[in-house]
Amino acid sequence: MHVSSENIVLAGAGLSALFIAKFVKTHFPEKTVTIVDASSEVGGQFGSIDFGPHGLVDHGMHVYYDCCVPEVDQLIQSALPDSEWNIYHDNEKDVAGIFFNGKLQTHSPYPDLRALPADKLARYAGDLLQSCANPSIDEPQNSYDFLLGQFGKSLADEIFVPILEKLHLRHPRELHLLASRLTAINRVNLFDFDFVAELSAVEKLRDRIAFPDQMALPRIRVNNQRALYPAKFGFAHATRALQHELIKMGVKFHLKSRVNRLGIAADRVSHIHLTDGDQNDHSIECDQLYWAAGLTSLAKFLGVSLQGFMPEKRPPTYFVYFKFGRKPMMDGLYYFYCFDRSFRSFRVTNYSGYCPQAANEGFPICVEFWSRESDSLSDADILSLARRELESFGVVARDWIASFSAVYKGNAIPIPSLSNMHSLDRVRDEINQKNLLNLTSVGLLSENHVFFISEVLRDAYDKVRRNFNLN
Ligand SMILES: Cc1cc2nc3c(=O)[nH]c(=O)nc-3n(C[C@H](O)[C@H](O)[C@H](O)COP(=O)(O)OP(=O)(O)OC[C@H]3O[C@@H](n4cnc5c(N)ncnc54)[C@H](O)[C@@H]3O)c2cc1C
């Protein structure tokens, strides 16, 4: 066994670890930084899948949305020259739709109910205004509480409960508040432009009532956050650039190296033990360890009991890719969520919407396809079902021929159930009770409010600054 001496070790080479490494080397160039990852590529979920002659594709939709901490955004953006990014502002940063009630809705990502009979609309509007004026729930404990507080009972029960049940397989009463943030279910379209423009002046109404044209949002509804995506297709163009930059700064990478054990001495993690791609064992000494490779594996390596932690898992989820010679009929949308129960699609991404260069060799589309418990599907079945759903959405026509298609088994979004989230809270507590002075847990769900990359990086930034007494 080879033993080498290192200093600051990052387990996982996803965007959170790449960011921390760059932050440390920018502020403390003399520090030794080592990154290890089980994969042969950096980037984690923000890396790309390489289909050889067919090029790169992303894991579903992964665009960098500013976390609005200038130093963090600057460290990510400077991985590529400005000319090698597509940078979107204002109404163009997130052009999203939904498939809802049998129709692809492209003007707004929030359910549009304006075509409903007037008496129903009046009931919904009355309930919403009532819940806004007299909130029945001060501190929502689950996603149903959130819906009741946001919209009142009729809209919650008749419109939003079925949507959350489709997405997360549970009544929202059993879903953590995180579920109400994963997809945009916080607003509804009830009124036409002029009236909504007037209502927009009131914050509580602005937070509940959608503006019916996302490309013409009034200034008061737009923030400064930007969206960044590499000019070339494949977010890996940015994560690989970060890797090259870090190598130049002296960071060492051990890829294809899976952490399989942590060495603990007194109140510190003394070593990480790895198995590399050739099945050789290594160990690396650490002065500080940033764990950015998943909370449950950290728990396992620290001997935190996962007994009683029976994660409520989804049936397998797949990324299904197609390339067509014609532009998908999505009216400029970058992506849309499918809210209708009869479909297995979760989200459809139109890459050329935000990366025009993606269309160079056919217009790529990704269907995030969530199978069902009863399914026993081959890749060919998945391809044909996903293709049929694209046709039903009206995104492609029956006679379009795909020049490329592929199925890739993806990482599922964990079910944001109360049970799962409470178990993760317990796991976090037990990890903290180990009081390991040189261990910092970062990344996806390292804290219960941390999921999107902007949240992950803000949290990582706070933690790394605290460790270096930079606060
Ligand atoms: C299906 C899905 C869809 C998402 N969609 C969005 C979205 O649209 N927008 C958004 O902002 N966020 C989205 N997210 C969240 C986003 O992916 C995360 O915020 C982000 O990837 C977190 O980065 P990370 O570096 O913490 O982790 P990851 O990107 O998950 O990277 C973790 C790394 O750890 C490595 N690793 C794991 N175990 C080991 C081990 N034992 N040894 C060595 N290495 C190991 C993995 O190979 C991986 O490279 C989505 C997440 C999922 C799962």
293 CA closest ligand 1 atom index: 34
Ligand 1 centre and the CA of 38: distance in Å? 13
User: Residue with the nearest Cα to atom 25 of ligand 1?
Assistant: 14
Are 236 and 263 contained in the same domain? yes
Q: Give me the pLDDT at residue 3, please.
A: 41
Domain boundary residue, one of 212, 243, 272: 212
Q: Give me the pLDDT at residue 315, please.
A: 87
Q: Give me the pLDDT at residue 312, please.
A: 74
Are 316 and 301 contained in the same domain? no
Tell me the ipTM for this assembly: 0.98
Question: Is the Cβ atom of 414 under 6 angstroms away from ligand 1?
Answer: no
Ligand 1 centre and the CA of 44: distance in Å? 5
Ligand 1 centre and the CA of 185: distance in Å? 23
Ligand 1 centre and the CA of 315: distance in Å? 19
Is 359 part of a structural domain of the chain?
yes
Ligand 1 centre and the CA of 410: distance in Å? 11
Residue range of the domain that includes 257: 2-47+61-80+231-310+417-467
Are 284 and 296 contained in the same domain? yes
Domains contained in the chain, number: 3
Tens digit of each residue's pLDDT, the chain (471 residues) = 444 444 899 999 999 999 999 999 999 999 999 999 999 999 999 999 999 999 999 999 999 999 999 999 999 999 999 999 999 999 999 999 999 999 999 999 999 999 999 999 999 999 999 998 887 788 999 999 999 999 999 999 999 999 999 999 999 999 999 999 999 899 999 999 888 888 888 889 999 999 999 998 888 888 889 999 999 999 999 999 999 999 999 999 999 999 999 999 999 999 999 999 889 999 999 999 999 999 999 999 999 977 666 667 788 899 999 999 999 999 999 999 999 999 999 999 999 999 999 999 999 999 999 988 888 999 999 999 999 999 999 999 999 999 999 999 987 777 899 999 998 999 999 999 999 999 999 999 999 899 999 999 999 999 999 999 997
Is 319 part of a structural domain of the chain?
yes
Ligand 1 centre and the CA of 342: distance in Å? 29
Q: Which residues of 450-467 are buried (b: 16+ CB within 10 A; e: fewer)?
A: bbebbbbbbbbbebbeeb
Question: Is the Cβ atom of 35 under 6 angstroms away from ligand 1?
Answer: no
Check which CATH number belongs to the domain holding 431 and give it. Answer: 3.50.50.60
The runs of H, that is alpha helices, within 104-200 are 118-133, 143-151, 153-155, 161-168, 179-182, 193-199
Are 146 and 192 contained in the same domain? yes
Which string of DSSP letters, residue by residue, matches 389-449? HHHHHTSS-TT--EEEEEEEE-PPPPP-BHHHHHHHHHHHHHHHHT--TTEEE-STTSSTT
The mean pLDDT value of the chain amounts to: 94
Are 140 and 272 contained in the same domain? no
Is 42 part of a structural domain of the chain?
yes
Is 87 part of a structural domain of the chain?
no
By most ligand atoms within 8 Å of CB, the mutation choice from 45, 408, 446 for ligand 1 is 45
Question: Is the Cβ atom of 258 under 6 angstroms away from ligand 1?
Answer: yes
Helix (H, G, I), strand (E, B) or coil at 29: coil
Distance CA 287, CA 127 (A): 57
Question: Is the Cβ atom of 416 under 6 angstroms away from ligand 1?
Answer: no
User: Residue with the nearest Cα to atom 52 of ligand 1?
Assistant: 413
Q: Give me the pLDDT at residue 308, please.
A: 62
Name the helix (H) or strand (E) containing 140.
none
Are 303 and 321 contained in the same domain? no
Question: Is the Cβ atom of 409 under 6 angstroms away from ligand 1?
Answer: no
